[in-house]
Structure 1
Amino acid sequence: MPNKKGPKIIGIVTHYYSNLGVAIVKFKAAVKVGEEVRFKGATTDFIQKIDSMQFNHKDIASSKKGQEVGIKVSDKVREGDEILEVV
């Protein structure tokens, strides 16, 4: 029987600043600017390319496992939404 494992969860939204359109994401894996990710939650489901990331208000090119970074998002996200790998 084939393995029906779903997309890998690579992060979770810990906070959302609606006035800025920025999500704070804690990553479980390294992610680079330019990668496409999927935001998925109870009422959230969209794919977006990561155009920029910030750590301590400074632009970074990639995140490290366990790091919390700010990402500009194109749609509203909620705390607890998952970030999935797009394959």
Structure 2
Amino acid sequence: MDREIGKVIHWYDHASVAVVKLAHPLKVGDRIKVSKGDHEFEEEVGSMQVNHEDITSGKAGEEVAIKLSQRTKEGAVISIVE
């Protein structure tokens, strides 16, 4: 079962980067599912940044930038694939 951990609050199309407001911790290497409406995909978190600084994990309440392989939209739900 997937566990929701955050939502996309901004999407940078030119860089394929989603800014995610985390409700639960997330770390590089976690497998996530991105879903909005009938569009969803899974991938492993390869890198994350806060304020343009690379980080290995994000805490609940933080806004982290995650590079994604597919485009998404603001409001998309981010879940951990367990």
Q: Given the two structures, how large is their TM-score scaled by the length of structure 2?
A: 0.95
For the pair shown, which has the larger CA radius of gyration, 1 or 2? Answer: 1
Of residues 72, 75, 84 in structure 1, which corresponds to 2:70?
A: 75
CA contact (8 A) 1:37 1:50 kept: yes
Aligned partner letter, 1:77: T
Alpha-carbon displacement from aligned partner over 1:23-43 (angstroms, at most 9, x marks no partner): 000111011100100001114
Of residues 43, 51, 56 in structure 2, which corresponds to 1:56?
A: 51
Unaligned runs of 5+ in 1: 1-5
Equivalent-residue separation in structure 1 for 2:12 and 2:62 (angstroms) = 18
Alpha-carbon displacement from aligned partner over 1:33-78 (angstroms, at most 9, x marks no partner): 0010000111420001000000000000000001001000000110
Shift >2 Å, 4+ stretches: none
**Partner in structure 1 of residue 60 of structure 2:** 65
Instruction: Determine which structure has the larger strand proportion and give its number.
Output: 2
Q: How many residue pairs were aligned?
A: 82
Equivalent-residue separation in structure 1 for 2:79 and 2:65 (angstroms) = 16
Identical counterparts, % of pairs = 39
Q: Given the two structures, how large is their TM-score scaled by the length of structure 1?
A: 0.90
Task: Compute the RMSD of aligned alpha carbons.
Answer: 0.9
